[in-house]
Structure 1
Amino acid sequence: MLDFGAVSLEWGTMLTQAIVFLVLLLAVRKFAMGPIVAVMEKRRQYVENEINSAERNRKEAEALLAEQRRVLDEARVESKSIIDRATKQASDEAAKIVAEAQSAAERMKAEASAELAREVAKAKAELQEQMTSLSVLLASKILEKELDEASQKAAIDKFLAQVGDRL
């Protein structure tokens, strides 16, 4: 036994306590530390797998985002192409309609001019016919009676007035 005044130590108790401590330490190490370390290792692997999975998901999301942007850009280019084609087609159609309208207007103008020319020719023919009949009528009246110069002049003026009224 060791005596230090207020504290005394017994070798047997100390040795027993040391052996119990070592047995307890071995038991804790075997029965408690193994499962705790295994649980901690499983937890570490789970966290590592989750981090790897999150990294893969992030990369997949970035790839999908890039693909969506590419598809969106293609759609924009295609829609611009469709709009450009539609605009060109509408412009071509408008030009075609204007050309057809101008052609129709020219045809109508030509037909109207031809109709007017026919009407003028017809009017001239009728006028000439009337002039001929009036001339014959005047000549027959002049021949029926012999007129003096003043009477002839009055008859001609009257004839011209009649012709003017009919025109």
Structure 2
Amino acid sequence: MAWHWESFVYAIVAFVVLYVLLSKYAFGPLFSIMEKRREQVLDQMKSAEQNRSEAAKLLEDQKKAIQDARKDAYELIEQARTTSVRQADEIIQQAKDESVRIKNDALKDIESEKNKAIIALRSQVSALSVMIASKIVEKQVDEKSQQELIDQYLKEVGGKV
């Protein structure tokens, strides 16, 4: 096998022509597609990084919102607890005041009824005393008869009271 320089030159010329044609019609569009794909990948990476940072920010915001909601809920619970204790104390105080008022009213009613009974008893006793005196004056009895008469009227008074 001999080496032929003409074949070598034809091969190199054919290779150069093929390379020029491929560069113009194949490599150019292929490289532009690859460059577009590279730019797309870079854009997607930037977008993914932005989305990740936004998601981290949103997660932090949500954590803060949850903490605020928990704090508000705790404050509401404490406020409700305080309000219920205050209302319970007010109800108890009102009940105590009402019981004192009812007790005082009852005592006043009892005192009033007692005074009425005393007045009625006094009028009955005075009426009986007058009756006894008139009977004694009418009969002019001895001491034993007078004592029996007094005992009888006292029994009558005891039965009426």
TM-score, structure 2 normalization: 0.90
- Give the corresponding residue for 2:69: 75
d(CA) in 1 for partners of 2:60 and 2:10? 72
* Structure 2 unmatched runs, 5+: none
| Deviation digits for residues 123-167 of structure 1 (CA, Å, limit 9, x no counterpart) | 011101111110110111111112233322221221111111111
- Give the corresponding residue for 1:106: 100
How many residue pairs get aligned? The number is 161
- Give the corresponding residue for 2:134: 140
d(CA) in 2 for partners of 1:74 and 1:11? 86
- Give the corresponding residue for 1:92: 86
- Give the corresponding residue for 1:52: 46
* Structure 1 unmatched runs, 5+: none
d(CA) in 2 for partners of 1:93 and 1:43? 72
- Give the corresponding residue for 1:123: 117
d(CA) in 2 for partners of 1:11 and 1:92? 113
Which is richer in helix?
Answer: 2
Identity of aligned residues (%): 35
| Superposed structure 1 runs of 4+ greater than 6 Å apart | none
Of residues 126, 150, 156, the one that matches 2:150 is: 156
| Deviation digits for residues 32-55 of structure 1 (CA, Å, limit 9, x no counterpart) | 212211111110110111011011
d(CA) in 2 for partners of 1:14 and 1:87? 101
Worse-matched range after superposition: 131-140 or 94-103: 94-103
Q: Which has the higher contact order (CA 8 A, sep 6+)?
A: 2
TM-score, structure 1 normalization: 0.87
Distance apart, 1:24 and its partner CA = 0.8
Root-mean-square deviation over aligned CA pairs? 1.7
Of residues 15, 19, 27, the one that matches 1:25 is: 19
Distance apart, 1:27 and its partner CA = 2.0
d(CA) in 1 for partners of 2:16 and 2:86? 100
